[in-house]
Structure 1
Amino acid sequence: MDIILKPEQEQFIQEKLKSGKYKSIDEVIIEAFRLLEEQDKHYEQWVEETRQKVTVGLEQLDRGEGNEVEVVINLLKDKIRGMREA
């Protein structure tokens, strides 16, 4: 497989090599793929956790355990105010 890099990508790789952290272009690329794989795993985990939370929330709503819209909006406003004050 041949890969054509943009000049800024080549420069990035050269800077990584100059830093001394990596000894070869292969090491830089292997690390990039490792990080991409890690990011993908975290994203998939987040998606699954979000799906589970949505399922729980929908089940709660079906049981009548939901909050009124105004209550939720006020809770969010309070949370935002707290974040700004921190």
Structure 2
Amino acid sequence: MTTKKDLIIFYSELNKIKDFDESERRIERFINTLSEALKLNDKIAFMNFGTFEVKETKERDIVDPKDSTNIIHAEPRKYVKFKGSKFLELR
């Protein structure tokens, strides 16, 4: 699993940026921009990269794993799903 710090280091090395804080600001700015855009639109597509889409879980009752007799009501929640383009090449 890659952490945000690993992503910032990779971005710095890939773009030959010596200032770690500058790389961190750029990554943070991109994440914030993507987050704000997803608040306005439920779907954002990057050509030849993939699609970010806001999905919502259904309201449901689930069994408490600690005590199987206890039923917990789960409210619907939103999450972001990413689907990579068929042109996205992973190595």
User: When the two structures are superposed, what TM-score results if normalisation uses the length of structure 1?
Assistant: 0.35
Larger Rg over CA atoms: 1
User: When the two structures are superposed, what TM-score results if normalisation uses the length of structure 2?
Assistant: 0.33
Structure with a larger share of its residues in helix: 1
Q: Which has the higher contact order (CA 8 A, sep 6+)?
A: 2
